[in-house]
Chain A
Amino acid sequence: MIDPAEHLVVDCDWHYADTFDQIAPYMPEPWKTKFQNSGWDSTGVNQGLSAFFPTSTGNRSNYGKIDREFSDYPQGGDEKADVIEGMEFLDIDATLQISHLILAMGGVTADDRRVESFIKGYIDYMLAEVLDPAEGIYGLAPLPYHDIDASMDVLDRIEDERAFKGVVMVTAGASPPLGNRKYDPIYERCEALGLPVVYHTGGSGLDDYVRAGYEEMIETHTLGFLESNMSQIVSVACQGVPEKFPDLDIVFMESGVTYLPGLISRLDEEYLKRAEEAPLLDAPPGDYISDFYFGTQPLEESARPDLLEICFDMLGTEHLLYASDYPHWDYDSPNIITDLPMLDDEQRKDILGRNASEVFGL
């Protein structure tokens, strides 16, 4: 058994608990001024009946049960010092920061500049105030992928910034799904820049635009995260993104691992019956999906050990990336990986840090 404190630990999914008050001064106009005059305040919702980003069902702190020592999550307002303290607490050497607030972007269906403005502000804010490669604090740049020109602006902005190690596409709400040719220019550019695409699921959406009426977060969080990732995995694989852009590294984040054998098996079964509908593929889609990388969190450590073993075997431990999701309510510490009895120490070290170090070029 290894001690995470003695080995490289790279956290591929740390959520910077940002606030709109922090980001708004960095947004491009007119949103810089509009937001500051909006009355929405730090959470972006503080005006009763309206909000900057739509909200979703449930209470993330589980009605006061969840508390974070090194973050102001869920309200937001973290600073670089909070991140450093939290990393020390969890024995994490390097983190890839992902905005907490951007995870709600999937709920924005209007053709306006809210998402783009938030992202541009977030990137400038993070570069100015938080990211610091010397401290192991790196970033992933969210993309306003519904707007290809705006996404290209973001890629222009980060391409020479060595603190940004990849991009994020929030899987919740992406319509058309992310295998569509519309997104090809993004993939082409990321492939050329050597930036991995991290597809990050999101809690918003299931209750808003898939099926209304869920009452509790245990329902929407269990299902919504899976639905969002599964939708995009199927689209990205079947539409041949890995064939079109063979050097693009594809990472899916934050739905654990047990959903993947089921999804792969079902998709491959369909493929045998309808192979012509995925004409760019040279092999069953599962062969491509098992070349993707997957964040481990929230790892289903309560699952039957033999099920986890099958998951690791199908996906390959060289394709798994430790992710804490800190400070979110269901975060995993590195011990989640080191405690797994079915892994050997080399596999634990791969998952904890070595794989990510290679994928993200840290």
Chain B
Amino acid sequence: MSDGEIEVGAADAFADGDVEIIEVGRVEVGVIKADGEFYALRNQCPHDGGPACEGPVEKRLVGEWGGPGERVEQRYGDDSIVSCPWHGWSFYLETGEHIGDDSYVVPSYDVVVRDGVVYVQTD
């Protein structure tokens, strides 16, 4: 481990959708694998302090409108999100932004995988 990094564990121990909670200083961070990529977000919900990273990891549901009179069809889109299990606030894994209001952001951290090991960068 180099300075400013915290070792999380073996990359191949993560399946898609897995979350590992680690300590970074005095805060908890959720390390999440989705679509083969790793993300790390503060495990503290800006709503009411809930464990934001401990809810389901999914694709965001999006709606597509086919034109006047057509139904808005819902489908799972490309963006991965995690939802706080306390009341459902949901955040993009990529940015930590709330999916409905980007003025709420969960701090995010860079994650690297080196020699099959996952590290969270804390600088």
A binding-site residues for B, Cβ under 8 Å? 181-182, 184-185, 187-188, 239-240, 244, 271-276, 278-281, 283-284
- Which residues of B (58-92) have their CB < 8 Å from a CB of A? 60-63, 65, 68-72, 74, 87-90
Q: Is the CB of B71 within 8 A of A284?
A: no
With A and B bound together, what is the CA distance between A274 and B89 in angstroms?
7
A276 partner, pick from B47, B70, B99, beta carbons under 8 A = B99
Give the shortest distance, in Å, between B65 (CB) and chain A (any CB).
Answer: 6
Given the complex, which residues of A lie within 8 Å of B61, measured CB to CB? 276, 279
- Interface contact A184-B101, CB-CB below 8 Å: no
Tell me, yes or no, whether B98 is within 8 Å of chain A by CB. Answer: yes
The answer to whether the Cβ of B100 comes within 8 Å of any Cβ in the partner chain is yes
A187 to B67, CA, bound (A): 12
Q: Which residues of B sit under 8 angstroms from A244, Cβ to Cβ?
A: 65, 68
Asked if A181 and B62 sit within 8 Å, CB to CB, the answer is no
Kindly list chain A residues whose C-beta atoms are within 8 Å of the C-beta of B98.
272, 275
5 cross-chain pairs, A with B, having the tightest CB-CB distances, nearest first:
A279-B63, A275-B100, A184-B68, A276-B61, A188-B68
B89 contacts A184, C-beta separation under 8 Å = no
Listed in ascending order, the chain B residues whose CB lies under 8 Å from chain A are 47, 60-63, 65, 68-72, 74, 87-90, 98-101, 104
Q: Are B71 and A181 in contact, with the CB atoms below 8 A?
A: yes
A273 touches B88 (CB 8 A): yes
> Can you offer 9 A-B residue contacts whose CB atoms are under 8 A?
A184-B68, A239-B72, A240-B72, A271-B100, A276-B61, A276-B90, A278-B100, A279-B72, A280-B63
Residue of chain B at shortest CB distance from A189: B68
Q: Is the CB of A273 within 8 A of B87?
A: yes
Give chain B residues whose Cβ lies under 8 Å from the Cβ of A271.
100-101
Question: Which A residues are CB-close (under 8 A) to B89?
Answer: 272-273
If A273-B87, A273-B89, A279-B63 touch, does A185 touch B72 (CB 8 Å cutoff)?
Answer: no
Question: Is B69 in contact with A181, judged by CB distance below 8 angstroms?
Answer: yes
CB of B63 within 8 A of CB of A275, answer no
Q: For the complex, what is the distance from the CA of A132 to the CA of B88, rounded to whole Å?
A: 55
Q: How many whole Å from A280's CB to the nearest CB in chain B? A: 6
| Set A188, A240, A272: member contacting B100, Cβ < 8 A | A272
Residue from A181, A273, A279, A284 within 8 A of B70 (CB atoms): A181
Task: Give Cα A240–Cα B67 distance, bound, in whole angstroms.
Answer: 12
Nearest chain B CB to A185's CB is how many angstroms away? 6
Which residues of chain B are within 8 angstroms of A184 by Cβ–Cβ distance?
68-70
Q: How far does the Cβ of A190 sit from chain B's closest Cβ, in whole Å?
A: 11
Bound complex: CA of A273 vs CA of B104, how far in Å?
12
How many whole Å from B56's CB to the nearest CB in chain A?
12
Determine the residue in chain A with the shortest Cβ distance to B71.
A181
On chain B, the residues within 8 Å of A283 by CB distance are: 100-101
Chain A residue at minimum C-beta to C-beta distance from B81: A276
> B88, A181: Cβ atoms under 8 Å?
no
Q: Are A240 and B99 in contact (CB under 8 A)?
A: no
Closest CB in chain B relative to A239 CB, distance in Å: 8
Cβ of B100 and Cβ of A185 under 8 Å apart? no
A316 to B99, CA, bound (A): 26
List the A residue with the shortest CB-CB distance to B104.
Answer: A272
Task: Return the chain B residue nearest A188 by Cβ.
Answer: B68
Among A188, A239, A272, A278, max chain B CB count under 10 A is at A272
Please pick, from B69, B70, B74, B90, the residue contacting A275 in the complex, using a CB distance under 8 A: B90
**Which A residues are in CB contact (< 8 Å) with B74?**
276, 279
Check A185–B69 contact: CB distance below 8 A: yes
Q: Assess A181 versus B90: contact at CB under 8 Å? Given A240-B65, A244-B65.
A: no
